[in-house]
Structure 1
Amino acid sequence: MTLAGDADRSKAIVTLRDATVEGRLTLDEFADRVERAELARTFADLESVTADLPSTGAADLPVKHGAWFSRLQRSGRWELAPASKVLSVCGTIELDLGRATLHGAETVMRVRNVFGTITILVPRGVEVSVDGSDAFGTREIDLPDTGPVGDAPRLRILTSGVGGTLRVKTSGERPGAGE
């Protein structure tokens, strides 16, 4: 039994990051496996984290997600394009990225919200930035204090609109759970 060192754990985490941006792991799988890699004591522990990476086939990725006076909910296993647009006009949108597959080291989500509610549920460890402005809008950004995992996929959310509500929360939380 050979003990693994910090450099070995870091190499495994880079492998997991690369598999995630290639679309082989969901963000939840990435977070789970990074945690297991950080706790690994032996090479066998590290190999078990990276040995069985699933492969996925190519898919047509939806670039636009919208709700006009309606509701859109995405959860479970789905794929998010590297540059996506989200539009809500008096609608409700919930995007759960917990089992979503990303196709790049950085995903940019352009959010336009006109008197709607958009909730984006993000797994622990993903680097998230929110930028932009919303006239008469509300932003509720509630992410854990632990911060992103090193070399984790990045999600950039660029917002615009009038009178809407944007919520960005950890994927274990459902909208309205703490209200």
Structure 2
Amino acid sequence: MTAELPGSAYRNDVRVSDEEREAVVEQLKAAVADGRIDFAELDAKLGHALGARTRADLDHATADLPSAAPVDPGKPLILKGGYHGVKRVGPWQVPAQVTVYGGMAGVTLDFTQAVCRRPVVDVDVHGDAAGVTIVIPEGWAADTDAVDPSYGGLKDKTSAYRLPGTPLIRLTGTGGLAGVVIRHPNGRERRRLKRQRPQS
């Protein structure tokens, strides 16, 4: 009989991370949106997921749900403001990891028309000399606790409210000399988005 090497197969007694718990929470929220479970079931399953210590605990919360398809992390996106500035706007595919350098002319990273199929997006941001502005749709949330404000500072103007099934933008990095701003669309941007929305 051949001994199984440690870690060579799935083990349900392995301790889980916060990120694994978050992924299950997003799967449960999606199940509500799809009509697979009701809000009473969601509350019970969320209790299991958030209190999970092992994979077995997490499996218990999703045992009667379809398996979540793995999402391709995609190629990391790197934006550098340089001397001319960069704007990433309009429709674009969001990878799991984005790195942004404000440079001398600044960067605008606009998620309002982006296609994002992942629960968490990690954005490593560096304000540098001209700063970085990040715009996320209403209903998306941001975690800015890991950003060092430095000289330029950090302005988080986003709402704490997060709609079920929407991404969390998780920021790291530094404000640099000019700072970092993350916000929802302003009035002018909302009007532009409304004009671009297909008419029914």
TM class by shorter-chain length? 0.5 to 0.7
User: Corresponding residue for 1:143?
Assistant: 158
Aligned Cα RMSD in Å?
Answer: 2.8
Contiguous gaps of at least 5 residues in structure 2: 1-28, 36-71, 190-200
Asked if the contact 1:108–1:157 (Cα under 8 Å) also holds between the matched residues in 2, the reply is yes
- 2:191 maps to 1:171: no
Rounded to whole Å, the distance in 1 between the matches of 2:111 and 2:166 is 14
Amino acid corresponding to residue 158 of structure 1 in structure 2: T
In the TM superposition, 1:53-68 aligns within 5 A as 61=75, 63-68=77-82
Structure 1 gaps of 5+ residues are: 1-8, 16-57
Q: Aligned equivalents of 1:174 and 1:139: distance in 2?
A: 23
Structure exhibiting the larger radius of gyration computed from Cα positions: 2
The answer to whether the 8 A contact 2:147-2:175 is kept is no
CA distance in 1, matches of 2:110, 2:159: 16
Structure 1 CA distance, aligned partners of 2:31 and 2:121? 23
Q: TM-score, normalization: structure 2?
A: 0.54
The structure showing larger relative contact order (alpha-carbon pairs under 8 Å, at least 6 residues apart) is: 1
Distance 1:10 1:117, change over 3 A: closer
1:90 counterpart SS class: coil
Q: Tell me if the contact between 2:131 and 2:175 (Cα under 8 Å) persists in the aligned partners.
A: no
Residue 63 of structure 1: how far off its partner (Å): 1.4
1:13 paired to 2:33: yes
| Preserved contact between residue 103 and residue 128 of structure 2 (Cα < 8 Å) | yes
% identical equivalent positions:
15
Bigger fraction of residues in strand: 1
CA gap of 1:137–1:108, structure 2 versus 1, over 3 A, is: same
2: distance between equivalents of 1:84 and 1:10? 24
TM-score for both structures, normalised by structure 1: 0.59
